[in-house]
Amino acid sequence: MNGDLYLAWTGVGNNRLNIAQVGLDGNGDPVSLADPVVLSETSPAGPALASLNGNFYLAWTGTRNNQLNIAGTSDNLTTFPRMYISPQTSQEAPSLCILNGNLYLAWTGVGNNKLNIAQSSAQL
């Protein structure tokens, strides 16, 4: 957001979601990670992270029932007060994409292994 680079990942051992800002040197090369925000949410796969209109969006496959989760925040990743738990399921990591001012979520469906794509122009 605002030209900054952020990284999201799933922790080893506890599967908790982590997010941190990447520190860049004068050449734009990554040199450090700021103190990560560790969420209580867990996932067996890596999360997806995107920024749109001053908000961050995080998507992940939950450890319970493989349901897709999407959360939004406007406070620099310290809390995610807006969360949606989808009835859709996946055993893989979802992807987020921003195109023409819209947020897209892509995932592999459980059972049919087909690619699914959902679009949202509304903010969580």
Q: How many domains does one find in the chain? A: 1
Identify the band that residue 91 occupies on the pLDDT scale cut at 50, 70 and 90.
confident
Q: pTM of the entire structure?
A: 0.86
| Host domain of residue 96 | 5-120
Long-range contacts of residues 6-13, Cβ cutoff 8 Å, at least 24 apart:
6/49, 6/51, 6/56, 6/77, 7/33, 7/49, 8/46, 8/47, 8/48, 8/49, 8/58, 9/46, 9/47, 10/42, 10/43, 10/44, 10/45, 10/46, 10/47, 10/60, 11/38
Of 56, 54, 45, nearest to 6 by C-alpha is: 56
Residue 35's domain is classified under what CATH number?
Answer: 2.115.10.20
pLDDT of 122 higher than 60: no
Which residues lie across from 116 on neighbouring strands? 107
Q: Please give the angle made by the CA atoms of 37, 68 and 22, to the nearest 5 degrees.
A: 30
Band of the pLDDT at 78, cuts 50, 70, 90?
low
Q: Where do we find the tokens 């055993």?
A: 91
**Banded model confidence at residue 95, pLDDT cuts 50, 70, 90:** very high
Q: Does 24 score more than 90 pLDDT? A: no
